[in-house]
């Protein structure tokens, strides 16, 4: 039985220490957070616990440090932003489970919040060895002491069998946070047999190989699968078109041929693309038909006719899932496709879900209204794995505890 944060609050947390696994893996430019969406998503759970008088110890990771402390991957910017949003100071421990963490936790009073340093500074966090991870999880549990509880609220990491996500839930009474619950509820709607139709899925991003499993899992369920982004060129190549210097996964061409045959009219590819002579914001650009990409030019966005065609499908849909930008939206000349598709989804009456780290960042960076979507998922890999029908270890362990 899955116990929830609300169950824990009913039990009472005043004076208890609660370890919260959050997802604070934000994009940084130096020590400036460029998109604080994940920090904001972590706030409600932490605030509820603090308001109820818990001593809240948050654990999270940032990037991929190599299993040892590295100031470039410090959670300091996240601690500061979290403090601003919670309107109370958040102490950042000097380390993960050593002396710094111990003294920080010992210094907490009821209702205060501390953040442990990047949990991936300890190599055991991501170890493939169950015993190593188990030992580290026991140290995390010991840090918060007897009587403590664990709240799993980092949806972006629940697909990882890692110590602070999976193993620690076996060491402490474990509860699902509100973010994890709401994400799962939304994703269940997208995989339900009685999904509201027409059901359209828009996929983009860089690689077909990253999204192959989700394409295969969703194809039988959807009415339309619209493909843009870097991955569309492998499909266009599978149709026999030349794609110039565009992103191409040669070893996936046969797989894409198979998918095109299986999908028939369900799968819609771009009619036109924006091509550039180099991969740069100040490149020369042109819009060309998808079957007329000049040699050596790179397709970096879908074209306006494609946006229109996609928008028509999206306008009629009752359920929409979108993952992966339609172009290299980070550069202004190649952002129109992503913006056009996002606006079409925003305008539609459909139940609409955006999944994927870069897609969610695109919505915010392009200044699109976040509330025009029904849900913006905080977890890229986790939401895709859920839609693929995989068991997510971080949720499975909560269901078993």
Residues forming the active site: 38, 207, 357, 381
Contacting positions for Mg ion (CB under 5 A)? 357-358
> 140-144: long-range contacts at Cβ-Cβ below 8 A with a sequence spacing of 24 or more?
140/19, 140/59, 140/97, 140/164, 140/168, 140/171, 141/19, 141/168, 141/171, 141/172, 143/19, 143/57, 143/97, 143/101, 143/102, 143/105, 143/116, 144/17, 144/18, 144/19, 144/57, 144/105, 144/172
Least gap, CB of 378 to Mg ion (angstroms): 13
Q: Residue 327 or residue 357: which is nearer to Mg ion going by CB?
A: 357
Using alpha carbons, select from 5, 6, 9 the residue that is nearest to residue 22. 5
4 pairs with which residues across the strands?
A: 176
356 binds ligand ADP (CB under 6 A): yes
Binding mask 264-303 for ligand ADP (x = CB under 6 A): -----------------------------------xx---
Q: How far apart are CA 299 and CA 246, in angstroms?
A: 5
244 binds ligand ADP, rule: CB under 6 A: no
Do the beta carbons of residue 303 and residue 331 sit within 8 Å? no
Q: Which stretch binds ligand ADP (CB under 6 A): 33-41, 124-132, 323-331, 339-347?
A: 323-331
Task: Choose the contact partner of 210 out of ligand ADP, Mg ion, none; CB within 5 to 8 A by kind.
Answer: ligand ADP
Binding of ligand ADP by 245 (CB under 6 A): no
> Contact between 379 and ligand ADP (CB under 6 A)?
no
Crossing angle, helix 178-191 and helix 37-51, to 10 degrees?
A: 130
Q: What angle do CA 312, 314, 319 make, to 5 degrees?
A: 155
User: Which of these, 107, 84, 114, 6, lies nearest to 52 by C-alpha position?
Assistant: 6
Name the residue nearer to ligand ADP (CB basis): 125 or 249.
Answer: 249
Considering the complex, state which of residue 118 and residue 246 has its C-beta at the smaller distance from ligand ADP: 246
User: Any contact of residue 49 with ligand ADP (CB under 6 A)?
Assistant: no
Position with the least CB separation from Mg ion: 358
User: Smallest gap, in angstroms, from Cβ of residue 60 to ligand ADP?
Assistant: 19
Contact between 205 and ligand ADP per CB under 6 A: yes
Q: Which is nearer to Mg ion, 156 or 357 (CB)?
A: 357
Question: Of ligand ADP, Mg ion, none, which one does residue 247 interact with (CB within 5 to 8 Å by kind)?
Answer: ligand ADP
- The answer to whether the CB of 7 falls within 8 A of the CB of 179 is no
Shortest distance (Å) from residue 355 CB to Mg ion: 10
Q: Which of 77, 134, 177, 230 binds ligand ADP (CB under 6 A)?
A: 230
Strands (E), 129-236: 149-152, 174-176, 199-203, 224-227
Enumerate the β-bridge partners of residue 320.
200, 352
Residue 156 binding result from ligand ADP, Mg ion, none, given CB thresholds of 5 to 8 Å by partner type: none
Distance between CA atoms of 77 and 83, rounded to whole angstroms?
Answer: 10
* 174/215 with CB nearer ligand ADP: 215
Alpha carbon distance 307, 271 (integer Å): 9
Tell me which of Mg ion, ligand ADP, none is bound by residue 299, counting a contact when its beta carbon lies within the kind-specific cut-off of 5 to 8 angstroms.
Answer: ligand ADP
Q: Residue 223 carries which DSSP code?
A: S
- Binding-site size, ligand ADP (CB under 6 A): 20
Q: Which residues bind ligand ADP (CB under 6 A)?
A: 204-206, 210, 229-230, 247, 299-300, 323-325, 327-328, 330, 356-359, 380
């Amino acid at each position: 039985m899955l116990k929830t944060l609300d169950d824990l609050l009913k039990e009472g947390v005043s004076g208890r220490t609660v370890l919260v696994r959050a997802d604070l893996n934000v994009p940084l430019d130096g020590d400036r957070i460029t998109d604080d969406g994940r920090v904001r998503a972590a706030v409600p759970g932490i605030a509820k616990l603090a308001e109820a008088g818990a001593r809240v110890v948050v654990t999270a990771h940032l990037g991929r440090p190599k299993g040892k402390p590295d100031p470039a991957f410090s959670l300091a910017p996240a601690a500061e932003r979290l403090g601003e949003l919670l309107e109370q100071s958040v102490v950042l421990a000097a380390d993960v489970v050593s002396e710094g963490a111990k003294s920080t936790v010992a210094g907490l009073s009821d209702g205060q919040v501390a953040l442990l340093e990047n949990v991936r500074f300890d190599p055991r966090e991501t170890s493939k060895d169950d015993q190593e991870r188990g030992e580290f999880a026991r140290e995390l549990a010991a840090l918060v002491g007897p009587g403590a509880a664990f709240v799993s609220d980092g949806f972006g990491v629940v697909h990882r069998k890692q110590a602070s996500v999976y193993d620690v839930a076996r060491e402490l009474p474990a509860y699902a946070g509100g973010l994890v619950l709401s994400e799962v509820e939304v994703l269940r709607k997208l995989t339900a047999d009685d999904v509201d139709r027409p059901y359209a899925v828009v996929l983009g991003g860089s690689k077909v190989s990253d999204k192959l499993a989700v394409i295969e899992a969703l194809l039988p369920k959807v009415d339309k699968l619209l493909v843009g982004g870097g991955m569309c060129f492998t499909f266009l190549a599978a149709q026999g078109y030349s794609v110039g210097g565009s992103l191409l996964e040669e070893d996936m061409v046969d797989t894409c041929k198979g998918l095109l045959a299986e999908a028939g009219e369900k799968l819609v590819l771009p009619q036109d693309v924006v091509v550039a002579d180099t991969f740069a914001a100040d490149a020369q650009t042109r819009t060309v038909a998808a079957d007329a990409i000049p040699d050596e030019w790179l397709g970096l966005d879908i074209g306006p006719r494609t946006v229109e065609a996609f928008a028509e499908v999206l306008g009629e849909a009752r359920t929409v899932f979108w993952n992966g930008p339609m172009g290299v939206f980070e550069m202004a000349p190649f952002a129109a496709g992503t913006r056009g598709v996002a606006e079409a989804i925003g305008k539609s009456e459909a139940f609409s879900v955006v999944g994927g780290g870069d897609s969610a960042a695109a919505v915010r960076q392009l200044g699109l209204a976040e509330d025009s979507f029904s849900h913006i998922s905080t977890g890229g890999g986790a939401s895709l794995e859920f839609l693929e029908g995989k068991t997510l270890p971080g949720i499975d362990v909560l269901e078993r505890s």
